[in-house]
Amino acid sequence: MTIHIGAAPGDIAETVLLPGDPYRARWAAETFLEDVRLVNEVRGMLGYSGTWKGHPVTIQGSGMGMPSLSIYVNELIRDYGAKTLIRIGSCGAMQEKIGLRDILLAMTASSISTPSAGIFRELNFAPCADYGLLAAAHAAAVARGVPVHAGGIYSADVFYDERPDLNEQMTRHGILGVEMEAAELYNLAHRHGCRALAVLTVSDHLITREALPSAERETSFANMIEIALEAAFP
């Protein structure tokens, strides 16, 4: 048990999926895992463990933003021995070629700042995904016939962004989409010798202004979760 995770020793699997929304964690666990049990509900940040095709898996909510995710990932790695961490979440598309419900695989994650900035100081560290996970996720998406894009994304510090000039430059430089957690996940994975990947579903589009209705978001995320699981256990 840690400050933020109430799981007992042995309750957390080495493979952890990390949705931001704790209710998405519950839906994903009940939908895709067998022998599911609740292992954490501290501060309402739900976590579940079970098995997928015989493989132990934990699905733990991580909250919104890099500071929140950093707390959970640090404790999952340090205190529970997590080795493979895959973010499953939504994102906003930043390229016209990308459609709603498409899957983005974050090869790299640019950011203005992360909780790790104090460690790196003047260094612009370039956090990236684990290649094995990335390749397996891409193969799984292609096999399913799901539109998939692999490339750089942007992890934002704020949700209500007022920097159209920055968005324009990121689009110009090929950034696929924006979310709020992956850069710090990748930083922590590199620091602790773990594997990490962000598998993201496009829920809205910064150029076309299209967006999925909230009722459709949950059902649209099934492909993302199955791709994440197949990447973890190819």
State the virtual CA torsion across 107, 108, 109, 111 in degrees, nearest 10.
Answer: -160
181 annotated to a ligand binding site: yes
Q: Which residues of 101-139 are buried (b: 16+ CB within 10 A; e: fewer)?
A: bbbbbbbbbbbeebbbbeeeeeeebebbbbeebbebbbe
- For residue 30, the tally of other CB atoms under 10 A from its CB is 12
58 contact partners, CB below 8 Å, separation of at least 6: 11, 12, 13, 15, 16, 17, 39, 47, 48, 49, 76, 82
Helix axes 131-144, 222-232, angle to 10 degrees: 130
88 annotated to a ligand binding site: yes
89 annotated to a ligand binding site: yes
User: Quick one: which of 153, 167, 106, 160 has its CA closest to 131?
Assistant: 106
What tokens were used for 97?
A: 């070629």
180 annotated to a ligand binding site: yes
Q: Are strands 34-40 and 15-18 parallel, antiparallel or unpaired?
A: unpaired
20 annotated to a ligand binding site: yes
Task: Return the bridge partners of 168, or none.
Answer: none
- Active site (catalytic) residues: 204
Residue positions in the annotated binding site?
4, 20, 24, 43, 87-90, 179-181, 203-204
Residue positions in the annotated binding site for a purine D-ribonucleoside?
4, 179-181, 203-204
Residue positions in the annotated binding site for phosphate?
20, 24, 43, 87-90
